Amino acid sequence: MATLLNVHRVKYQCSCGSFKSLCYLYFCRHCLKIKCKDCVILEVDCRFCPSCYEHLQSHEAITRKNRCQSCFSCPCCNHTLVTRATNTTAAASPSLNITPDSTTTASLDVDDTISSSTNVSGLQTPSKKVYYLACSVCRWSTRDIRLVDQPTLNSWKAQDNIHEGRFNELLQHYKQIATREKQERDRKRYSTVKLRTSMPTTANRSTSSSDKYGLLAPLTRRGIRTSGILKTPSLTESTNPANPSPKSAETIEQIEALDENLFLNDSFDFNKLTTITQRLNSVEIQPLTIDRLYPLAKNFTSKQSKRCKECDHNVLKPEPSPKLIKFKLHQMALFFIPEIRIWYHPTWSLNDNNSCILSIINQLDEQTTLKIYTLDEIREENTDKELIGRINQFDENILTSKLIFPLEKERSVQLHAHVEPNETDTKIDDELRQNDSKDLVIYRKFAKIAIRCFIKIKSNNVKTVLSAFIIEHRVVGISPIVSTPTPTGPNPISQNVRHIVFIDFGSIDEPALPLHSALT
């Protein structure tokens, strides 16, 4: 249990060669390989506000600059701001003889939009509800910056940006450049299209063979001539006079020197300065003091699908609704590959074999057979050249110890299904316990077992104990779609797969882990 949260101690090798913890990996059931975050493609399914769950399409979210119009974050602590309502006294008529001092604002929440309040003279004046934003964590509110209360909900306007015109000018300029670059690529692509030397001139002539897929007509409309070259403006051509290039930025030649007595002045207060994080949250304005902080519009978040780069199939597909946390497809490696953790290791000895205990948990809902190999046994088999090459490179450059198992051959263990146990499962577990090798398996409880191994440190100058071994198990994949589909669909395929498991036992000076209570 000492390594319950230390998931970085045991890592599995991805198909790209990197080592990651099992909880950070995916398993593709089409190509039957482990995939990490670098081996998948991210696709945005939906964009929504994490506060009000407003769901927008991608183009609508981009138009809003990926910000919600009704939810705001605190500029001080970044928590969600709460809208509060109060009563404010309306402007009184001159006949009531009310002084400006008699106009008050109540701090209580109200339900009616129009109510009545009593002034000093006992007369009633109409009052209305106004709204302001407040943070329930740091107690910041829009009244701290003297922002006027709004008469209606969701009427808070964005802060004026003095550089907005410059940003829009640069954005339009680079959009034109991107459009011309795309046209240049299209021109080079279509210039290789071979057209007939003589174009058909009469309507009753058969269409050209190059127009088999309807390509000739749109190319002709876009300016194809008999040479087959698309007539589009080149990047070197002059731009449209109506959209000239933006003005170049001006370099500041002289910067005003900082006053040396600024920080020594008694009127200077560090508590009124904003932090770097607060300034970067408002990157358009970058306020210097806290009295210039403005409510931040809530950023949209997104639900993303993850697709395998090799076979182009999804390994993760969430539900499109932002209020649902379920997944349509969830192929985490933790659900298909046995999880291995460190249960016990002794105080390390450089000359002897150190006895260690590893726990193995089966996450599948069916019984699985797990085979365990050392690195030397895979080299002796000499069947998988790619796996042997990865092992040799890994063993020479990283590993500092050698892992040995008690049994020399036929190290296979049966793992119980990961289901809620009943009387039948108890009987099956007892049968599996009787068939276990006492030298290898020292503990079994349904889907979890503990095995013994020995660690032999290679040299005396080792600082960290690093070791590895190979596991093999059977997985059920999904067969590719055939040309003639059957009524039952494609049949699943079953195949044995092997994984390299890398274990970091920690520093050579690390004390022994406490022995689990089930093993005492």
Q: Distance from first CA to last CA of the chain, Å, rounded?
A: 14
At 480 the pLDDT is 56
Amino acid, single-letter form, for residue 146: R
Task: Give the model's pLDDT for residue 495.
Answer: 84
Residue 477 in any domain: the answer is yes
Token pair 């274990």 is at which residue? 503
CB 419 within 8 A of CB 431: no
- Domain encompassing residue 429: 337-481+491-507
Instruction: Report yes or no on 160 lying in a domain.
Output: no
Residue 255, CB half-sphere, CA atoms under 13 Å: how many? Answer: 5
In-domain check, residue 216: no
Strands 19-20 and 33-35: unpaired
SS3 assignment, position 262 = coil
List the one residue out of 428, 304, 417, 441 whose CA is nearest residue 366: 417
| Total structural domains within the chain | 1
DSSP letters, 227-247, are T-------TTSPPPTTSPPPP
CA–CA separation, 323 vs 34, rounded Å? 30
> No. of H helices and E strands in the chain?
7, 23
Stated pTM of the model: 0.70
User: 94 lies in a domain?
Assistant: no
Nearest to 348 by CA among 356, 337, 340, 358: 356
Tokens of 492: 């699943």
**What per-residue confidence (pLDDT) applies to 123?**
54
* 330 belongs to a structural domain: no
What is the full per-residue pLDDT of the chain (520 aa) written as tens digits?
445 667 889 999 998 889 999 999 999 988 889 999 999 999 998 899 999 998 888 888 888 888 888 899 999 998 999 999 888 775 544 433 333 333 333 333 444 444 444 555 555 666 788 899 999 999 999 999 888 888 888 788 878 888 888 888 898 899 999 999 988 888 877 766 544 444 454 444 444 444 444 444 554 545 544 444 444 455 455 455 556 778 888 888 888 888 877 777 777 788 888 999 999 988 888 888 888 899 999 999 999 999 999 888 999 999 988 888 889 888 899 899 999 999 889 999 888 899 999 999 998 888 889 999 998 888 888 788 888 888 888 887 888 899 999 887 778 888 888 887 777 778 888 888 888 888 888 888 888 899 999 999 988 888 999 999 999 998 887 755 443 344 444 456 778 899 999 999 989 988 888 887 777 6
Residue 472 lies in a domain: yes
> 221: phi > 0 → left, psi -120 to 50 → alpha, else beta; which?
alpha
Length reported for the chain: 520
In which residue are the tokens 């779609």 written? Answer: 481
Q: Burial code of 265-297, b = ≥16 C-beta within 10 A, e = fewer?
A: eeeeeeeeebeeebbebbeebebeebeebbbbb
Q: Where are the beta strands (DSSP E) in 314-395?
A: 314-318, 327-330, 339-344, 354-361, 368-373
Q: Are 340 and 357 within 8 A, CB to CB? A: no
Cα→Cα distances 286→274, 275, 282, 292, Å: 9, 10, 5, 9
Asked whether the beta carbons of 519 and 442 are under 8 A apart, the reply is yes
